[in-house]
C-alpha cells in the first residue's frame, strides 16, 4: 500500500469519492509535477533549447502541484473546486504530453515526461467521471 493510500485512509474524514481513483490521481499529480519540472529544465539545457516544451512543462508542473495538494485534502471537500482544478490539470497534461511526444524519439526526458503526463491525464479523467 502506497504512502498516499495510507494517508487517504488515515484521514479522519472519508474520501469524497472512489478511494482508488483519488489515490491514483494524487500520485500521478506529484509524479507529473516532478517529471515536468525536470523536463522543463532538461529542454532548457539542450544545445538547441526546446522553447515550447520548457513552457508547457512549467505550466503543467504548476497545475499538478496545485491539483495534487487540493485532492490530498479531505476536510470540507468542495466538488466544484475539485472538478475545476482537475479539469485544468487534465488540460495542462494533455498539452504538455502533445508537445513532449513530438520530441520523444530524440529526447528520452521528453519520452518519459510524455508518459507521466498521459498517465496523469487519464487519472484526472477517471476522477472527473467519479465526481459526476
Residues making contact with a copy of itself (CB under 8 A): 3-4, 6-8, 10-13, 26, 30-31, 33-35, 37-42, 44-47, 49, 51-52, 54-56, 58-59, 61-63, 65-66, 68-70, 72-76, 78, 80-81, 83-85, 87-88, 90-92, 94-95, 107-109, 112-113, 116
Please give the distance of CA 86 from its chain centroid, rounded to a whole number: 9
Instruction: Quote the least distance from Cβ 70 to a copy of itself, whole Å.
Output: 5
| Closer residue to a copy of itself, CB minimum distance, 64 or 126 | 64
Q: Give the number of C-alpha atoms closer than 13 A to the C-alpha of residue 81, restricted to the C-beta side.
A: 12
Instruction: Quote the least distance from Cβ 44 to a copy of itself, whole Å.
Output: 5
| Closer residue to a copy of itself, CB minimum distance, 23 or 126 | 23
- To the nearest 10 degrees (0 to 180), the angle between helices 79-102 and 19-45 is 40
- Distance in angstroms (rounded) separating the CA atoms of residues 118 and 110: 12
CB 31 within 8 A of CB 116: yes
Identify the burial level of 81 via C-beta atoms within 10 angstroms of its C-beta, where 0-12 means exposed, 13-18 middle and 19 or more buried: exposed
Instruction: Quote the least distance from Cβ 101 to a copy of itself, whole Å.
Output: 15
How many residues in total does the chain contain? 132
| Closer residue to a copy of itself, CB minimum distance, 7 or 129 | 7
Amino acid at each position: 500500500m502506497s504512502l498516499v493510500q495510507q494517508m487517504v485512509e488515515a484521514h479522519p474524514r472519508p474520501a469524497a469519492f472512489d478511494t482508488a481513483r483519488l489515490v491514483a490521481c494524487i500520485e500521478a499529480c506529484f509524479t507529473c509535477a516532478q517529471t515536468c519540472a525536470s523536463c522543463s529544465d532538461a529542454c532548457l539545457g539542450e544545445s538547441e533549447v526546446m522553447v515550447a516544451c520548457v513552457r508547457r512543462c512549467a505550466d503543467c508542473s504548476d497545475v499538478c502541484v496545485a491539483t495534487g495538494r487540493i485532492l490530498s485534502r479531505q476536510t470540507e471537500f468542495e466538488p466544484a473546486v475539485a472538478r475545476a482544478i482537475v479539469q485544468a490539470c487534465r488540460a495542462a497534461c494533455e498539452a504538455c504530453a502533445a508537445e513532449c511526444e513530438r520530441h520523444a524519439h530524440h529526447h528520452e526526458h521528453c519520452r518519459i515526461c510524455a508518459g507521466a503526463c498521459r498517465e496523469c491525464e487519464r487519472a484526472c479523467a477517471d476522477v472527473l467521471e467519479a465526481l459526476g
